[in-house]
Every structure is written in C-alpha cells, then in structure tokens.
Chains A and B, each alone.
Chain A
C-alpha cells in the first residue's frame, strides 16, 4: 500500500480537530464561568439604579404649595431586569425591589418629610411608575399606582 498520499489528509484533520477543540474549550469557559458572572453584575447594578430612580421619584414628588393637592408623578422604569419582571413594594416607609432571583433584591429607606404618610403598596413592572400624592399640606398621603 502506498501511504504517501495519506499524510496531508491526516495533517489537515489534525489541524481541524485542534481548532475545534480550542474553540469549544474557550466557548465552554465563557458560557460556564464568565458570562453568568457578568450578567449577575450588570443585573445587580441595574436593579440598584432602578431602585434609586424609583426612590428619587417618590422623594421629589413633593409639591411646594400650601393647599390640598392631588398629584401624580410618573417615571418610566425598565420592564425586566435580567429578563424577568420584578416588583417594587412599599412597606413601613421602605422601598423594596423584589426580583424572582433573590440575589438582586435591594431595599432603601424613603426620606420624606414628617407630614407625609406613605401607604403600603405594590407596583408590578411593565406599567408606568406613578406616585400619587393627595391631601392638605399638613397631612399628605403618598401611594404607588400603575398606569392611569
């Protein structure tokens, strides 16, 4: 048998096999280790910023007039964080971000003047974030709403 013509085929197969091995190793490294880590870090950061924006909207929704008011302040918040919908819960003067992935949960205390009472409530992502403020200047009530 003449083996002289086999050598280039084997050589090319070897080279192709090596390249495929390399690519699959690197891809496995990425998908297994790096990519989830980055997704978690960006999801965390986004969750914190969403909560800060929501708290900022609530804290600056105070009208500076001296008579009874009924105001609504709206902001747009992202529909999903890391591909999943989340909720914002107000309880006891604290705003909590409740995400199905518990590592992305965060909380912050709302700094409001003592004349404002905050009603407990829940807001589900996907709608506009609405802050509703009603009442006379000495005793205002703040509540979260959805859309209209």
Chain B
C-alpha cells in the first residue's frame, strides 16, 4: 500500500479545479455583460439633447430655457430636417413624460434627461390712473414695454424714467408710441415727468410678462 498515488484524491483535485474554472468564466462573462453600453445610441441621445437645449436652437430663448410655443410645434419632420435624425433611427422626445415628437418606437434605447425651464410670454395692457403722482409700478417683470403717450393739450410730457433712470426724453414733449427695453430681473416703476396734469387714458402701457415652469426634457434614441 506504500507510495500509491490515490486516484480518488487526484479525481477530487481535478473536480475542484473544474469548479473553480467554471466559476471564473462565469464571473468574467458577467463582467463583460454588465459593461455592455449601447455607446452609439447614448452618444446620439446626448448630442440630440444638447442641440435641443443649447444656445442657438430654434426652441431655446437662452441655454436650457425653452420657448413654450416653439416646443408645441416640434414634430417628427423637424426632428429629421432640422436636427439631423436619420431615417432608420427611432427617437422619442418627451416633456415631463408626455411625448412631444417621435419618429418611431424608442423603447429600450438610450435615455437622457435634462432639466429645463419652459417659458410662455403673455401680453398685458395697463392704463395708469395717475391719482396722486405720475408714476405706475408694473405688477410683473417684463423685458420691454410699449408706451402710448397722448398728453392733453395743456401738458407736455418731457421725460419717462424707469426706476430713476431716464429711458425717454424729449424737451418738446413726448407724443406717440415708444418701445422701451427694461431689465427682466426686477419689477420696474415708471415715472412720467410732465409740465401739467396727467389723467387716466393719457398713457397706455403694454407689457410682456413671462410665465415659467420647470420641466424635464427626455430624449430616447434606439437604433
């Protein structure tokens, strides 16, 4: 019985070796599978979302700020012509989960989300009453105002100020329609300097407040 290589021991050793090899291959396979990225789809989704919210796009007012009316006009044809989506790629653009435009079924493709602000511009008219002083405070921020000044016969309006800064001045009297740019970062008080009394109806102010809401723009690309 001396010095006999036990074949059972060898068999056991080979079995253990087999098990270890199989485990190693399984781990490697798992690692390779989990490193699978659809790199081309992802690149297409990121590039398209950059174009949609970038600086000089048809949809954007400023970077990451979308114009509400332009957003509603986005459709599959503009995606193909203006944004260069090819015919065999399925793209789905959503805003807060609702589809804005789609060129096919993009389920299972790469998905990219961007936080954006959607802006809608309204138009409001204000006729100041000029009860005490010749000033009117605008209730909303606006980036411009359209003024229509029709002074009564015995009055000349010489200067219009916005927050103490002169924006219109004519020593012989302002009369007619004027457009003034304002800062959209604060609400403004307009002051009218006149050489006589001003009444309601002499000045009409049209201002353009913007309404903003936060939204999530999603872009899915498959193919």
User: Could you list which residues of chain A lie within 8 angstroms of chain B, going by C-beta atoms?
Assistant: 7-8, 11-12, 14-15, 18-19, 22, 26, 34, 38, 41-42, 45, 48-49, 51-53, 55-56, 59-60, 64, 93, 106, 108-114
Contacts and interface: CB of A to CB of B under 8 A. Distances in A.
A7 B51 CA distance: 81
Which of A14, A34, A41, A59 has the most B CB atoms < 10 Å from its CB?
A: A59
B7 interface: yes
B12 to A, nearest CB: 12
Interface of A (DSSP majority class)? helix
A110 B43 CA distance: 10
A111 B55 contact: no
B180 interface: no
Contacts of A93: 84
Contacts of A106: 40
B39 A111 contact: no
Nearest to A54: B43
Contact of A111 (B5, B10, B37, B83): B83
Interface range for B: 35 or more
Nearest to A137: B56
B151 to A, nearest CB: 42
B32 A42 contact: yes
Contact of B56 (A8, A42, A64): A64
A7 B36 CA distance: 55
A48 B48 contact: no
Contact of A64 (B4, B28, B32, B55): B55
B47 A55 contact: yes
Interface string B25-47: 10010001001111110111011
A60 B50 contact: yes
Contacts of B51: 111, 113
The 5 A-B residue pairs with the shortest CB-CB distance in the complex, in nearest-first order? A52-B39, A52-B43, A111-B84, A109-B86, A15-B5
7 contacts: A14-B5, A22-B14, A22-B17, A60-B50, A110-B84, A111-B47, A111-B83
Contacts of A8: 2-5
B89 interface: yes
B168 interface: no
Nearest to B81: A114
A15 B10 contact: yes
A147 to B, nearest CB: 24
